[in-house]
Structure 1
Amino acid sequence: MQASVRFQTIDADQAGQRIDNYLLSQLKGVPKSMIYRIIRKGEVRVNKGRIKAEYKLQANDIVRIPPVKIAEKEQAPLSNKLHQVAQLEQQILFEDDVLLVLNKPSGMAVHGGSGLSFGVIEALRSLRPEARFLELVHRLDRDTSGILLVAKKRSALRHLHQQLRDKTIQKEYLALVRGQWQSHCKVINAPLNKNELASGERIVRVSEQGKPSETRFSVEERYGEQATLIKAMPITGRTHQIRVHSQYAGHPIALDSKYGDQDFDQKMQALGLNRLFLHAYAIRFEHPKSGETLRLSAELDNSMKGILRQLREQKQA
């Protein structure tokens, strides 16, 4: 797909972001490597001058965006996923002019990348073609379901990111873990270090060299010796944080392909569980425009409720 050179004038809402991030939002489907290449080669200009990838845009800057050819195969997968796109419309929990809150299904990546060319954000953009701006406020692992915030204005994104930095956004997750979680284990402070394996797979481990990471836990329901439903509240927002902290406590999450326990997983699969049992079920934050406190929740789906019901029955038998 060949286009012509475009000149875009930056408005106040777009100001403050790095040029590389701006180009990623303007050139949908273009790999990051190509974005950096066209900046490095001087094909992208701001006010007729060359810039670096970390340049922060200012109001009234004029950005020259060169034509970029994207291989057709990179565009194709969206049509194959139209049923998933349609289903997403049913999963919107809240929407206004600055914010969209989604109950993300398990198994769907939040964005294309890591070998995937399709994700939630691409699906939302196809559902809202008129939206000038749609960006993730935070992320959820591909196999984790639940509440995901998407900003519809850059000012809202900045406001919500500040709340994340100030740790005033409160997130609550439900997880089914192996064994009996000890009631006295209420906080885990264990630094996490992200590693990339030769295969490109990301793995996170507790390490003194890692970044400070804190999760608060409480018991929701016990199922004898076999399992516990816990509530987890991450204070920091590290990759795989709840999954690794649960494993570190000796209670890995059911069907966690990276950090789980095979015997426990087989028992849960026998009950019909076919996905990671981790769900972002509630969030509390200040609305970026009105300033009111919003608390939104997303119930466990029927299949997860069914697993808990069977565990309850086993315990009572």
Structure 2
Amino acid sequence: MRKSKKAVSPVVATVILIAVFIAVVSAALSFAEVELSSYYAQSDLQQSSTLASQVAQGINAVALTFGRSVSIGYSFKYASIAVIPNVVKYVIQISSSECPNNMCYVYAYTGMLVIAIPAHYYSLGNDYMSTIYPASFPITKTFVSKGGSGSIALAFTKEFESNGIEFLYTVVVPVPLEVNTTQSIGGSQKIPVVRLYFVQLSNLAQQYPLPSNCTANPPKASVSILSLKSGYITVQGQGSQVCSVIGVTSISIQWYPMSTLYSSQFFNFPQTGQVIVFPNGNAELQVYIGDVGVGGP
């Protein structure tokens, strides 16, 4: 005699259907949330690039001035903004008969502005890097900008793991600007003149001391978190100093990262320094160091 199979009761069937429906809806909502987070993060990245470009151009406009300022507004969903002090040290080594033991040194210290987006929202791949401003800056070949149309500030995007956490960083950091010219010294005789421009990027409320007698010690400053999601950034020139050396035979410009969190791999600058040689030994070097403060609401 055959046994009949028990039918699933309508109540049980309904419960199963509801459970399946909830699982499907939850998966769809989770996917939608991930997609929405990625969309917001991509939007933040685009806005970060625009803001970094404007800040870099603002630094160019106010550098080596006193009191001139530029303000730029922003609004983010996930990105956070901070001024990180003392991330790069630039060393200028000067060979000249006018220097003690024929060698002089000038130091410039700078911070950077970072806009950080957690990579779990949106990722371009570890160690991804692209230059924002100036767009043609050969960041892997040199860290020195050149010419009258050069920039004293560099903006770039870098995906990097810092302290065990991966972020998409949009960065504005000052770089040396080299301008070459000549100077007449009686009659038709001319000597080469090299002007090097450096900016100390600092917190507007914690101004870096400008160097005296062409020397400077590492300034003491703390990380400054600007408004996390929206507001405005102000960059303001806070004065400058100039150091001049004559009888120069050679100039060497080196850079050194000062933070273990932001190593040489973070900046991607070449390890070799910039060297300028004057065989006749009659060049003049002028080093301009200005402080630019960055602040927010």
TM exceeding 0.5: no
Decide which structure has greater strand share.
Answer: 2
Which structure exhibits the higher relative contact order, with contacts defined as CA atoms closer than 8 Å and separated by 6 or more residues?
A: 2
Decide which structure has greater helix share.
Answer: 1
Larger radius of gyration: 2
What's the TM-score once normalised by structure 2's chain length?
Answer: 0.27
